[in-house]
Amino acid sequence: IFPWKLVSAAAFLVPERGQDKIDIVINETFGEVESSNLIGKEQTDKSDNDIPHDNYTENSNDVQTHTFTKFPPTAEDEDEETDKSEQFFDVETRQVLYRIGGSMLPLPRSNYLKSHIRPNPDLYGPFWICTTLVFTTAIAGNLANYLQSAGIDYQWKYDFHKVTFAATAIFSYWWLVPTAIFGVLWWRGNQAGYTFLEILCVYGYSLAIYIPVSILWVIQFNWFQWLLVAVGAVMSGLVLVFVFWPAVREEDKKIAWSIIVVIFLLHLALAVGFKAKWCVHCKFF
């Protein structure tokens, strides 16, 4: 085995996005392998700034390790800066579906934010979940009115302004509560490292369970509708609790518990609010 064989198989090292070093381990004795053969230095017009820095070590078994860092910027890096707003929509279909599924199933040991949302929080899912929820709750409210009054020969006048009410309520919840939580965490100097975008993303996806809940509200049994509200709120509320508990765990006990309880209650209040507003026969509202 001769050194020229390695040269003929030389690779041109181009790092992936976000990767800043490449390790090449050579564990047969070729004699010394020049790093220039590994980084394709055939182009003579490259200046020293264009050549990655090679940190070369060799241990006693003649195993060479070349660690390349400081790669010159490539064409791919330029694409990253073209559209800042596209980074909020940098998801694929199966990622969105995976995140929606994860928001409905609370698992005590796992943190939804760490396992599903990082490293690329997106705004596509939350925005379209909120928009869909606005329309499903408005339609469900109208259908509820119609079906409950159907026996009285009621000519259905649908209330379009339910849409505006629902939109205001849902989008306010989606933005104001994360702002408040982020503010509280920042004020307390919390070290969990949750960015505002990540909290926003988690809250948007946590509303996903209310979409099937609001569609199932068509079934006109009061106890069933309240059961749906309870199940939906508890499931996604618990996901939220498991996300924020690791963050507030180090705080003073009272503050930590009050934050968690407030998060859960607000989540429940949203669903209860919609059910109560459009419940014609409710006795206690």
Which residues of the shown chain bind other proteins in the complex (CB under 8 A)?
A: 85-86, 88-89, 91-94, 96, 124, 128, 131-132, 135, 139, 142, 155-161
**Closest distance of CB 231 from other proteins, Å:** 25
255 vs 249: CA distance, rounded Å? 10
Q: Minimum CB separation from other proteins for residue 145, in Å?
A: 9
Residue nearer to other proteins on the CB measure, 164 or 172: 164
Minimum distance from residue 123 beta carbon to other proteins (Å): 9
Residue 251 token pair = 């705080």
Tell me the closest approach of the beta carbon of residue 127 to other proteins, in angstroms.
8
Cβ 74 to other proteins shortest distance, Å: 20
Nearest-CA neighbor of 102 among 110, 282, 226?
110
Total number of residues shown for the chain: 285
Nearer to other proteins, 165 or 226 (CB): 165
Which CB, 160 or 284, lies closer to other proteins? 160
Sequence letter at residue 110: S
Q: Which is nearer to other proteins, 28 or 92 (CB)?
A: 92
Least Å distance between CB 175 and other proteins?
17
Give me the least distance between CB of 131 and other proteins, in Å please: 7
Q: Given the complex with other proteins, which of 140 and 271 has the nearer CB atom?
A: 140
In the complex with other proteins, the residue whose CB is nearer, 48 or 92, is 92
44 versus 93: smaller Cβ distance to other proteins: 93
In the complex, least distance from residue 209 CB atom to other proteins, rounded to whole angstroms: 18
HEC string of the chain equals CCHHHHHHCCCCCCCCCCCCEEEEEECCCCCCCCHHHHCCCCCCCCCHHHCCEEEEEECCCCCEEEEEECCCCCHHHHHHCCCHHHHHHCCCHHHHHHHHHHHHCCCCCCCHHHHHHCCCCCCHHHHHHHHHHHHHHHHHHHHHHHHHCHHHCCCCCCCCHHHHHHHHHHHHHHHHHHHHHHHHHHHCCCCCCCCHHHHHHHHHHHHHHHHHHHHHCCCCCHHHHHHHHHHHHHHHHHHHHHHHHHHHCCCCHHHHHHHHHHHHHHHHHHHHHHHHHCCCCCCCC
Q: At residue 126, what is the residue type?
A: P
Contact residues for 22 (Cβ-Cβ < 8 A; gap 6+): 13, 15, 52, 67, 68
